[in-house]
Structure 1
Amino acid sequence: MMKLSKLAAAAAFVMAGSAAIAGEVEVLHWWTSGGEAKSVGELKKIMQGKGHTWKDFAVAGGGGDAAMTVLKSRVVAGNPPAAAQIKGPGIQEWANEGVLANLDAVAKAEKWDSLLPGVVADVMKYKGNYVAAPVNVHRVNWMWANANVLKKAGVASAPKTWDEFFAAADKVKKAGLIAVAHGGQNWQDFTTFESVVLGVGGAKFYQDALVKLDQKALTSPTMTKSLETFRKIKSYTDPAAPGRDWNLATAMVIQEKAAFQFMGDWAKGEFTAAGKVPGKDYICAAAPGTGNAYTFNVDSFAMFKLKDAAAQKAQGDLAAAIMGPEFQEVFNLNKGSIPVRLGMKMDKFDDCAKLSSKDFVDTAKSGGLVPSIAHGMAVSPAAEGAIKDAVSQFWNDDKISVADGVKNIAKAATTK
C-alpha cells in the first residue's frame, strides 16, 4: 500500500470529518451490481431509520482497485469517508498508518467477541482493538458439480478424496464430457491451488504453508504432492480454458457440458439465476479432502477517524447495523454468502448456505477455519501476488517440473 507521509497522516488526523454534516455517514464501496446494490440500499434504509444521512461513495470496477486509489487520495487530503470496503491484511496496513477509528465501544455494546469466531475477529482488530466491521463470509473451498453429468458418467456421489475425484473425472471423460470447468485468470488457478493444498495437507499444513509462509512447509513432500495433484487436475480441463471468465466456467457446469468446478460460493449465484436447485440440479460439496476445513473470504468495512461528534455517532451506528441480524440476513441472501454473525437463523437460506453455516461454526471450534490466501485474507498483498504468479506459471507451463514449481512458490513466499 502507498505509504502516507507523516505530514499527510497528521493532516488526516486534524482534518478528518471537518466537512462532515451532523449525522452524515459516507461509505466507500464497489457493490454496484444488482444483488449487491440492493443490499447496500437496505443498509442505507437502516441508517436513515436512525435519522442519519447516507452519502453513497460507490466506485465501480476492478474488484476495488479503482476504489483504493480514490481512497488513498482522500485520506492524504485529510478528508476520509466514514467507512470503506477493505479486507484482510489491508485492514492492518491502514490501521498502521494511524487513520482508523477504534470501534471497541460499539463492539463491546453489541458483544462482537461472542458473535464472531476468534480467527475472524482477529482480522477485524489492530493491536487488540476493533477497527473494522465484518459483513459476510464466503466459503472458498467449494466443489460444484452437475448432478445429470455425474449420473450420465455413472458417478454415484460427489467425490470426498482426491483419489475418488480422479476416478470420477476419468468416468466423465469416458462419457465424452469435460471433467473440470476452469477459466484463464490467475486468481482461478490460485483458488483451485489453495483447495488442493488444504485437501492434500489438511488445515494445519495449510496454515503453516500458506498463512505463516513457513519455508519448511513450503518445501516439504506434502507441497510436492499438492503440486502433483494440482497438475493432474489441469489434465482434465479443456483446451479452451485459457482466458475464460469464472462465470463462463460455471455456465459449462450449469449447461451439462462439464462435471466439476472449484470456486467460491459466489458461483451459486449463477446456478440460482439459471433457476437451478441445490441437491436436485447441482451439488455443492467441500473440495476433496477438505470436508473438515473451511477457507474464508470475509468482506468488511474499515472505519476512519472522524472529528465531528455527530459523524462519529453515525459511524458507530453504521458499524452496529452492519453486524446486526437484519442486515446480515438480507445482505447475505442477496450476495450468496452467509452471515458472519454466529447464531443466526438460517431458515430462509438454501441448502448450500446451511451447509456452509454449519461447517463455518464447526471449523471455528475445531481449528479448521482458515483464511483464503487466494482472496486476500491471509498474507500481505506483495507476497500474495508473487505466490499467485508462481502458481499460475506452473499451471500454464507443463515444462516447469514439480520440483521447480515447489522452489518457485517457496521463493515467491519471501516477497516483502
Structure 2
Amino acid sequence: MKKIALGLTTVALSLSAAISHAGDVEVLHYWTSGGEAASVEVLKQEMVSAGHNWRDFAVAGGGGESAMTVLKSRAIAGNPPTAAQIKGPTIQEWGDLGFLSNLDSVAKAGNWDSLLPDVVSNAMKYEGHYVAAPVNVHRVNWMWANPEVFKKAGASIPTTWEQFIVEAKKIKAAGFTPLAHGGQAWQDATLFESIAMAQGSKFYNDAFVELSEQTLRSDEMISVFDTFKQLRDLVDPGFSGRDWNIATSMVINGDAAIQIMGDWAKGEFTAAGKQPGIDYVCYPAPGTSGSFSFNIDFLAMFNVKEAGQQAAQQDLARLILEPKFQETFNLNKGSIPARLNMPRDQFDSCAHSSMDAFLASSSTGDLVPSMAHGMAANSMVQGAIYDVVTNFFNSPSMTSQEAVDKLARAIKASM
C-alpha cells in the first residue's frame, strides 16, 4: 500500500508540475488562406501536444497591414499577444519600444547559431539577442504558370520582361487573362520588385536597401516603371482589391496564365491537389534567375508576466525550429525551411530549386531582402514606396519620369 501511495503521490506531483508549466499562448498572425491555415494548424497541434492552450488570433490580409494595426492597438493598450507574426526591420522597431522577450536560453539549448544561416539569425535578433523564431524562408521572385493555357494560346514561357509582354499579348488574344493579379498595394509592390530585380542585385540593393537617391532617380528606375505600366493592360478588369489567393485560383482554374507571387502561392496549388510540372510550373520571375528575394516569416515573442505563459512561449520558440515542424509547415506553406541541412526527400522540384537558389545566391551577393514584404526597409519607407507604386499603376496619366521623382521625394521624406 505504501508503494502504491508513493506511486500515486509521484504521479500527482508530476501532473502538478506539468500543469504549473502549461500556459496559454495567443498568437497573432495573418496566415488565413487555405494553404496557410493548414500550416499554422500544425504548430497549434504541436503546442497542444506539449500541454499548452493555443488561442488563435488570425487577422485576414495577405500583406499583414491589418494585423499590424491590431498589434499596435493591443500593445498600446498594454495587452500584447504572446507572439505575433512580424519580420525584418519591424522586429527592430518593436525591440526599440521594449516589447520583446529574450529567447537566448532557447536558442542556446537548440544550437540556433549553427542551425540557421546568418541572414536568418541576424534578422531575428535585437541588439545581439534572439527575440523571434523563424518558421520559414520564402522566395518572392517566383512566376507561377498554367502550361495548358500557354499551350492553348500558342505562347512560350517568358524568361525576360520583354518576352513576357510579347507572350502575354498572345495569351490575351486567345481569350485568357495573361497576368493574375490583385489590386492591393503590397501585391503591386511585389510585382514592381520583381521587375526591379531584373536590373541586377546591385541596382536593387542601392535602391531599396541603401535608398540611394541617385539610383532612385536613374534611367534604370525609369525603365522599371515603364515595364510596370505595360503590365497594367495585362490584368483583368476585376483585379482591384482582389486577395492574392483568389488571383492564384485564376491560374489554378485555367482562367489566367501567370501570377508573379512568392512561393506561398504554391501552398494554394498543393491545397487544390495540383502537381508541379504537370498542372503548373514554377520559374523565377523574368530576368531574375540568379537572384533570390527573401521574405522570412518570424514569430516574435512579446513580454508576458505569468510563469505559465513564459513557459509556453519558450516551448513555442523551441518547437518552431524542430525538424518535424519545419518540414510539415513548409510542405504546406510552399516555402523552404529556415533550418539548414534538412532532408529534402519530401519536398518537390519547386522547393528544391528554391533551396539551391537560396544557397547559391547567398555566396554571390544575389540574395536580397524583399522590399515589398518588409525585409529591406522600415515601415515608413515601405509605405512611401507602396503609395507611389500603386498610384502609378492605377494612374493613366502619370509618366515614369514623374513616378521616379515622386518615389525619390517620398523615400527621402520618410527617412
TM range (shorter): 0.7 to 0.9
Aligned to 2:340: 342
Letter of the 1:180 counterpart: L
**Which amino acid letter does the alignment assign opposite residue 338 of structure 2?**
V
Residue in structure 1 matched with residue 258 of structure 2 by the alignment: 260
Q: How does 1:22-41 map to 2 (within 5 A)?
A: 22-30=21-29, 31=31, 35-41=35-41
Q: Which amino acid aligns with 1:155?
A: A
Cα distance in 1, alignment partners of residues 161 and 34 from structure 2: 37
- Aligned-pair distance for 1:245? 3.4
Match of 1:301 in 2: 299
Aligned length: 394
1:135 aligns with 2:107: no
2:331 to 330, 333, 357: 333
Deviation at 1:190, TM superposition (A): 1.0
Judging changes above 3 Å, is the alpha-carbon distance between structure 1 residues 315 and 245 closer, same or farther for their aligned structure 2 residues?
A: closer
Separation in structure 2 between the aligned mates of residue 203 and residue 33 of structure 1, nearest angstrom: 31
Which whole-Å CA distance do the structure 2 matches of 1:239 and 1:77 have between them?
Answer: 42
SS of 1:133 mapped into structure 2:
strand
- Distance apart, 1:41 and its partner CA: 4.1
Which secondary structure state, in structure 2, belongs to the residue aligned with residue 227 of structure 1? Answer: helix
**CA–CA distance in 1 between the matches of 2:147 and 2:368?**
29
1:143-158 matches, within 5 Å, as 143-156=143-156, 158=157
In structure 2, the CA distance between the partners of 1:68 and 1:198, relative to structure 1 (3 Å rule), is closer
Deviation by residue 1:82-102 (Cα, 9 ceiling, x = unmatched): 422222222111111122122
CA-CA distance at 1:251 after TM superposition = 2.9
- Amino acid across the alignment from 1:88: G
Deviations for 1:269-326, whole angstroms, at most 9, x for unmatched residues? 3333443321112211100111111112211111233455565444333212111111
The corresponding residue for 1:14 is none
| CA RMSD between the two structures | 2.6
Determine the structure 2 residue equivalent to 1:397. Answer: 395
Alpha-carbon contact 1:218-1:409 (below 8 Å) kept: yes
2:268 maps to 270
CA 1:172–1:80 in 2, change beyond 3 Å: closer, same or farther? closer
C-alpha displacement of 1:238: 3.3
* Alignment partner of 1:244 is 2:242: yes
Q: Does 1:180 align with 2:179?
A: yes
How many angstroms apart in 1 are the aligned matches of 2:248 and 2:54?
A: 35
**Local SS of the residue matching 1:284:** strand
Query: Aligned to 1:159, what secondary structure does the other structure show?
Result: coil
User: Equivalents in 2 of 1:104, 1:389: separation in Å?
Assistant: 38
- Distance in 2, matches of 1:87 and 1:58, equals 17
SS in 2 for 1:288: coil
What amino acid does structure 2 have at the position aligned with 1:206? Y
Unpaired stretches in structure 1, ≥5 consecutive residues: 1-19
**SS of residue paired to 1:340:** coil
Seen in structure 2, the aligned counterparts of structure 1 residues 72 and 273 have a Cα distance that, compared at 3 Å, is closer
Q: Is the 8 A contact 1:252 1:258 kept in 2?
A: yes
Q: Aligned in 2, Cα 1:270/1:70: closer, same or farther, shift over 3 Å? A: closer
**CA distance in 2 between partners of 1:243 and 1:55 (Å):** 32
Residue of structure 2 equivalent to 1:413: 411
The answer on whether the counterparts of 1:117 and 1:364 sit within 8 Å (CA) in structure 2 is: no
In structure 1, how many angstroms separate the alpha carbons of the residues matched to 2:166 and 2:32?
42
Question: What amino acid does structure 2 have at the position aligned with 1:112?
Answer: W
Partner Cα distance (1:81, 1:258) in 2: 39
* Paired residues for 1:341-360 under 5 Å: 341-360=339-358
Matches within 5 A, 1:47-62: 47-50=47-50, 52-62=51-61
| Match of residue 203 from structure 2 | 205
**In the TM superposition, what is the alpha-carbon distance from 1:179 to its structure 2 partner?**
2.3
What is the deviation of 1:132? Answer: 0.7
Question: How far apart, in 2, do the equivalents of 1:239 and 1:256 lie?
Answer: 17
Contact 2:269 2:275 in 1 (8 A): yes
Per the alignment, residue 85 of structure 1 pairs with 85
Q: Which amino acid in 1 is paired with 2:323?
A: P
SS in structure 2 of the partner of residue 413 of structure 1: helix
CA contact (8 A) 2:191 2:260 kept: yes
Which letter maps to 1:172? I
Q: Tell me what 1:378 maps to.
A: 376
SS of the residue aligned with 1:144? strand
Deviations 1:127-186 (A, max 9, x none): 222111111122211111111122233334x22222332332233244343322223222
In 1: Cα distance, 2:214 partner to 2:240 partner: 32
Pairwise CA distance, 1:338: 2.0
Change (3 A) 1:121 1:409: same
SS of structure 1 residue aligned to 2:401: helix
> Is 1:124–1:132's contact at 8 Å kept on the other side of the alignment?
yes
Q: Compute the TM-score of the two structures, normalised by the length of structure 1.
A: 0.86
What is the DSSP-based 3-state SS (H/G/I as helix, E as strand, rest coil) of the residue aligned with 2:137? Answer: strand
Distance of 1:294 and 1:279 partners within structure 2: 21
**Structure 1 pair 170–362 and aligned structure 2 pair: CA distance change class (3 A):** same
* Counterparts in 2 of 1:205 and 1:275: CA distance versus 1, 3 Å: same
The 1:133/1:174 distance shift into structure 2, 3 A limit, reads same
Give the match for residue 99 of structure 1. 99
What's the offset of the Cα at 1:57? 4.5
Deviations 1:334-375 (A, max 9, x none): 222221112111222222222222222222222222221112
Partner in structure 1 of residue 385 of structure 2 = 387
CA shift in 2, pair 1:70/1:149, >3 Å: closer
CA distance in structure 2 between the aligned counterparts of 1:393 and 1:267, rounded to whole angstroms? 25
Determine the structure 2 residue equivalent to 1:225.
Answer: 223
**Structure 1 residues 95 and 234, CA gap change in structure 2 (3 angstroms):** same
Q: Which residue of 2 aligns with 1:115?
A: 115
Q: Which amino acid aligns with 1:256?
A: G
Q: Distance in 1 between matches of 2:46 and 2:83?
A: 16
Distance 2:211 2:20 in 1: 45
From the superposition, tell whether residues 184 and 215 of structure 1 become closer, same or farther in structure 2 (CA, over 3 Å). Answer: same
Are residues 35 and 275 of structure 1, via their aligned partners in 2, closer, same or farther at CA, if it must alter by over 3 Å? closer
Could you tell me how far apart the structure 1 residues matched to 2:308 and 2:283 are?
47
CA distance in 2, matches of 1:396, 1:78: 39
Q: Is the 8 A contact 1:28 1:67 kept in 2?
A: no
